[in-house]
Amino acid sequence: MTPAKTSAKTQEPAAPYIYTANHAPEDSRDSVVFVHGAAMEHSVWSHQSRYFAYHGYNALAPDLPGHGRSGGRPFEDIGELADWLCGLLAGARGRGFHLVGHSMGALAALETAARFKHDRAPLCSLTLVGFSYPMAVSDALFDAARERPTEAYAMMTQWSHASQLGGEPVPGFWSPGMQFSMMSGSHDGALLADLRACHAYAGGEDAFARVSCPVLFLCGRRDRMAPAKLAAAHAAKNDNAEIVFLEKCGHSIMSESPHGVLRELKRHIGNNAAAKN
Amino acid sequence: MPRPTKTRFDTLALHAGQRPDPLTGARATPIYQTASYVFDDSEHAASLFNMERPGHAYSRLSNPTNAVLEERIAALEGGVGGIATASGQAALHLAIATLMGAGAHIVSSNAIYGGSHNILQYTLPRFGIDTTFVSPRDIDAIRAAIRPETRLIFGEVVGNPGGDIMNVPLVAELAHEHGLPLLIDSTFTTPYLFQPFVHGADIIMHSATKFLCGHGTVIGGLLADHGRFDWKASGRFDTLSAPYDGFHGMRFDEESTQAAFLLRARREGLRDFGACMSPTTAFHILQGMETLSLRMRRHVENTRAVVEFLQKSDAVEGISYAELESHPDFSLAQKLLPRGAGAVFCFTLRGGREAGRAFAEGLEVFSHLANVGDAKSLVIHPASTTHYRMSDDDLRAAGINQGTIRLSIGLEDIDDILEDLSRGIHLSKKARA
């Protein structure tokens, strides 16, 4: 027996793990699907997903294949990841779906929204958090992820926070430590696969053209991983999109501004609930 | 080793967890001396209590001043978070109560603080939790003591009072081979001298009363969690992996893979046992931590001078300090504690109980009391005070002789410290005669 999370996770079955905050999804509710980023897992959304589960929605926060408690291999292609998410939506309960993605998860959510076929329940909204397109990855980060993953986790953690000193409004937790620990516990090779998927994704323009639901871009003003100006350029081109900047936030926006992210998700998702369509 | 922040230790000690107060601009951490917090509305209240959003509801659970301290110890230790408690003892109890219940078992170093020994040896068995004590130097004995119902391995980096050094990397490896977490009491070393997470520990506890506060003004404890132990994979920790009826069937390790231990400790342990820290206490500890590295450097520098002085005295029978080649853990200390083996150590005076008593009572700069880790130098003679009722055999078993003296070296001018010790030694010789 070992405490190493990676080793333990390789023993997990291939079936995906989906966090629902202990609520069985119901057909009569809208489903909010939270998609995590590179080398992350469902609990990166813990300050938002639980709220929705207790306020009239189905909350579904999967561990993507090869991440967290889900077995399988991580996808190296955003299109494959989107197909997997489309399959998840096809099997999920709910009268309408709201996709919320962060970073790599935002690319996947965008592509999923573009590919999603409405046969049973519509896609009601899309929220792209910490989004940029293209999402180019530097050679230095690729090298680290390949050869020295712990160094890559540290680099990404440092770049993801607007402040290195903490002081976020989550009592008792140190956000850089949380992110570093989460990434350090990721499956072997997950980060490298995720970075390859982000770097190679070239379908953003086409995907935006095919998305018909309202889109919210939620950006940290000081995001160095996914600069807000890139999201702003896409928001400006899309009549059905709005952009919100959260001040003093970097890329780890869900922990740096948990209240701000929750407030904007409540507003955007609430305004676009299936019952209103 | 890669770290989650580029910010260095001294800067984190001053700033981690705190930003200037957004309402007033106050630079120092405000003392939020309040029991409770006004809700926006009922929905806001319900969502706070149900962990749907972060925030403060009642100061037994969390407090803004305490939160700065909790984040700061996490940053200095390199963990995911922390919890402030009413005392170091409360921190130890909270850690144990979070991880196990009746029927569980702990393997503990036998070179630990007397208060920790008391709760493990005498109090917890009444609640169905047993402990096997073993030498921290005997890895085979630690392995042999592990049972199917064992849930924790516990020890101090620098043991009290003998200065035994625990081989934390080795014990951590053993613990993890058995799917067990290692809890380290790092009170004597602080994160400046030793960082247990770097060496494999899973949870750290501090009596923050000591060097972290550093001025002998308040009682407080801290826990920090590394966030790496896989509670689910271990299969031994239902308190973290199984649905908890006391919180709507929550599985804590599902809610937060990294911080399951801290979540349950706060949401059950602080809620139900209630041994929380006062925000004024948190403020005092934060003040102390701002100068931690400066003080620890001086503590160690003065201690080394005192040890050198005592080595030259014909009144001294022996010194137990791990930086001396004569200490059994000298090599290990050189490896694990390059910045110093701390500022608390014991030595033995010739002349037994009367010499020891005369020495302790004759000092002026040193204060004769039962504490360590103060800015002021402290002394105690266990055989005539804390261990007064023990027989010679029991004293020996506790690693104490009639002439054993425990010193906690403070920050005074070293010449004044040495002059004071000279006076004490003179008086001890007179008592011998």
The DSSP symbol for A173 reads B
Could you list the pLDDT tens digit for every one of the 433 residues in chain B? 889 999 999 999 999 999 998 889 999 999 999 999 999 999 999 999 999 999 999 999 999 999 999 999 999 999 999 999 999 999 999 999 999 999 999 999 999 988 999 999 999 999 999 999 999 999 999 999 999 999 999 999 998 778 899 999 999 999 999 999 999 999 999 999 999 999 999 999 999 999 999 999 999 999 999 999 999 999 999 999 999 999 989 999 999 999 999 999 999 999 999 999 999 999 999 999 999 999 999 999 999 999 999 999 999 999 999 999 999 999 999 999 999 999 999 999 999 889 999 999 999 999 999 899 999 999 999 888 877 777 788 777 767 888 999 999 999 999 999 999 999 999 999 998 7
Nearest to A64 by CA among A184, A187, A174, A152: A187
Is it the case that residue A8 has pLDDT exceeding 70? no
Task: Give the residues across from B207 on adjacent strands.
Answer: B221
Task: Give the residues across from B405 on adjacent strands.
Answer: B347
Distance from CA of B192 to the nearest CA of A (A): 18
Tokens at residue B225, please? 């969690």
Domain that holds residue A102: 5-276
Q: Across the interface, which of A55, A167, A177 has its CB nearest the CB of B79?
A: A177
Which B residues 192-231 touch A at CB under 8 Å? 202, 226-230
Is it the case that residue A6 has pLDDT exceeding 50? no
Angle between helix B414-432 and helix B292-311 axes, rounded to 10 deg = 40
Task: Give the residues across from A18 on adjacent strands.
Answer: A62
Name the burial class of residue A239, with classes exposed (0-12), middle (13-18) and buried (19+) by CB atoms within 10 angstroms of its CB: exposed
Nearest to A99 by CA among A107, A91, A242: A107
In this prediction, residue A277 has a pLDDT band, given cuts at 50, 70 and 90, of low
Is it the case that residue A7 has pLDDT exceeding 50? no
Instruction: Decide if A42 contacts A19 (C-beta within 8 A).
Output: yes
Q: Where are the beta strands (DSSP E) in B150-245?
A: 150-156, 182-185, 203-207, 221-225
pTM here?
0.95
In tens, the pLDDT along A30-61 reads: 999 999 999 999 999 999 999 999 999 999 99
A contacts of B181 (beta carbons < 8 Å): 3
Instruction: Decide if B393 contacts B234 (C-beta within 8 A).
Output: no
Identify the three-state secondary structure at position A135.
coil
Nearest chain A residue (CA) to B14: A165
Region A164-185: mean pLDDT is: 93
Domains of chain B: 9-289 (3.40.640.10), 293-432 (3.90.1150.10)
- Euclidean distance between CA atoms B5 and B315, whole angstroms: 50
Partner-chain contact A174 B75, CB within 8 Å: yes
Nearest to B67 by CA among B47, B88, B91, B84: B84
Distance from CA of A131 to the nearest CA of B (A): 22
B contacts of A47 (beta carbons < 8 Å): 53-54
Nearest to A107 by CA among A87, A88, A80, A74: A80
Radius of gyration of chain B (CA): 22
Dihedrals phi, psi of B234, to nearest 5 degrees: -60, -40
- Lateral strand order in the sheet of B221-225: B81-85, B221-225, B203-207, B182-185, B150-156, B105-109, B130-134
**Total tally of structural domains belonging to chain A:** 1
B contacts of A55 (beta carbons < 8 Å): 52
- Euclidean distance between CA atoms B84 and B283, whole angstroms: 11
Distance from CA of B329 to the nearest CA of A (A): 28
Is it the case that residue A98 has pLDDT exceeding 80? yes
On whether any CB of chain A is under 8 Å from the CB of B245, the answer is no
Partner-chain contact B233 A41, CB within 8 Å: no
Distance from CA of A115 to the nearest CA of B (A): 30
Is it the case that residue A12 has pLDDT exceeding 60? no
Tokens at residue B159, please? 């043991």
Q: Specify the pLDDT at position A14.
A: 57
Q: Which CATH number characterizes residue A76's domain? A: 3.40.50.1820
- Euclidean distance between CA atoms B274 and B280, whole angstroms: 17
DSSP A71-140: -S---S-HHHHHHHHHHHHHHS--SEEEEEEETHHHHHHHHHHHH---SSS-EEEEEEES--SS----HH
Is it the case that residue A4 has pLDDT exceeding 60? no
B contacts of A22 (beta carbons < 8 Å): 243, 248-251
Instruction: Decide if A189 contacts A10 (C-beta within 8 A).
Output: no
Distance from CA of B171 to the nearest CA of A (A): 13
On whether any CB of chain A is under 8 Å from the CB of B79, the answer is yes
Distance from CA of B219 to the nearest CA of A (A): 19
Q: Across the interface, which of A1, A148, A182 has its CB nearest the CB of B178?
A: A1
A contacts of B1 (beta carbons < 8 Å): 150
Strands B81-85 and B221-225: antiparallel
Distance from CA of B360 to the nearest CA of A (A): 41
Partner-chain contact A173 B249, CB within 8 Å: no
Q: Specify the pLDDT at position B262.
A: 98
Which strand (E) or helix (H) includes residue A241?
A: strand A241-246
Partner-chain contact B255 A46, CB within 8 Å: yes
On whether any CB of chain A is under 8 Å from the CB of B27, the answer is no
- Euclidean distance between CA atoms B392 and B425, whole angstroms: 23
Q: Across chain A, what does the average pLDDT equal? A: 92
Partner-chain contact A165 B7, CB within 8 Å: yes
Region A241-262: mean pLDDT is: 96
Nearest to B201 by CA among B79, B339, B340: B79
Q: Specify the pLDDT at position B182.
A: 98
Partner-chain contact B176 A181, CB within 8 Å: no
Identify the three-state secondary structure at position B325.
coil
Instruction: Decide if A65 contacts A187 (C-beta within 8 A).
Output: no
Identify the three-state secondary structure at position A60.
strand
